[in-house]
Amino acid sequence: MKRTTLFVTVFSLLVVLGGIYAVMTPEEKILRLATTTSTYDSGLLDYIIPVFEEKYNIEVQIISVGTGQAITNGERGDVDVIMVHSPEAELKFIDKRYGIDRYCVMYNDFVIVGPAEDPAGIKGMNIKDAMGVISDQEAIFVSRGDDSGTHKKELKLWKASGMMPAGSWYLESGDGMGMTLQLASEKGAYTLTDRATFTFRKKTLDLEILVDGDIGLLNPYGIIAVNPDMHPSVDYESATDFIDWFKEPLTQQLIAQYRVDGEQLFTPLNGECIGG
């Protein structure tokens, strides 16, 4: 009987390992990019990445998460390159030696959206006053609450307006921008969003832009390679190809060309960093 048990155990293990090996099909060159939901969900990457894949014969695998998780993926060496939007977190990532070769790719801007009736009356205000009024009137505000680039920006804006967001009016969705907008729309609430995701999603939302155009609302995106000295397993060569490709005028032009419903979503930065 013992022999049978041993046989069954060994056989099962072999089958499991064989099964895992069978699906581990060998592939051509692959670049892993962790990026934020705003670049992926807005369709920009689906628009521009095939051009890179064609030219360099490298398959780009995109993992679309929040800035916080994208940076953690980079720190753990699970991806080769990251594209995120939080200048401070990007510089910290580089200071800790996890990232190198940062390039400032493009920007769009953040906007405050809310119901058309605008119960707190913030339409047209500057961002500092608008945040103050929302907090004073305890108008419902939905926060990402997920350590994403947008969440970090929101916390900075509260701080700049001298407010501490807390109370039953302040909801944390803990979800991506799309779901957070959906939640704000259902609740008739205000929220901070990047313009790209809002433009892409607005058809299904009862929200409109109430505050925008403030210099404090710029939203720059940076691309950073994972340092091969920290994680020898990353494909630094392909990451460098990828970053170099973003520096090409043609790529920058492609970014400016991307439109949703006739609206431009991102503006190329040509390497000029803003906000750090």
Footprint on this chain of another protein (rule: CB under 8 A): 1, 4-5, 8-9, 11-12, 15-16, 19-20, 23-24, 32, 37, 41, 46, 61-64, 76-78, 176, 178-179, 182, 200-201, 203-205, 231, 233-234
Taking the least distance from each CB to another protein, the nearer of 57 and 168 is 57
**Exposed/middle/buried for residue 38 (C-beta within 10 Å: 0-12, 13-18, 19+):** buried
**Exposed/middle/buried for residue 229 (C-beta within 10 Å: 0-12, 13-18, 19+):** exposed
Task: Say how far apart CA 10 and CA 227 lie, in whole Å.
Answer: 41
Strand, helix or coil at 166? coil
Helices (DSSP H) in 96-220: which residue ranges? 127-137, 149-160, 177-187, 195-201
Taking the least distance from each CB to another protein, the nearer of 7 and 213 is 7
Note whether 87 and 276 are within 8 A (CB): yes
Residue 34 C-beta: closest distance to another protein, Å? 8
Give, in degrees to the nearest 5, the angle at Cα 250 between 236 and 93: 35
Task: Say how far apart CA 61 and CA 51 lie, in whole Å.
Answer: 14
Residue 131 C-beta: closest distance to another protein, Å? 26
Taking the least distance from each CB to another protein, the nearer of 16 and 160 is 16
DSSP label of 69: H
Taking the least distance from each CB to another protein, the nearer of 123 and 187 is 187
Nearest Cα neighbor of 58 from 34, 29, 82 is: 29
Residue 160 C-beta: closest distance to another protein, Å? 29
Residue 88 C-beta: closest distance to another protein, Å? 23
Taking the least distance from each CB to another protein, the nearer of 223 and 234 is 234
Q: What is the separation, in whole angstroms, between the first and last Cα of the chain?
A: 69
Residue 19 C-beta: closest distance to another protein, Å? 5
Residue 26 C-beta: closest distance to another protein, Å? 11
Taking the least distance from each CB to another protein, the nearer of 158 and 266 is 266
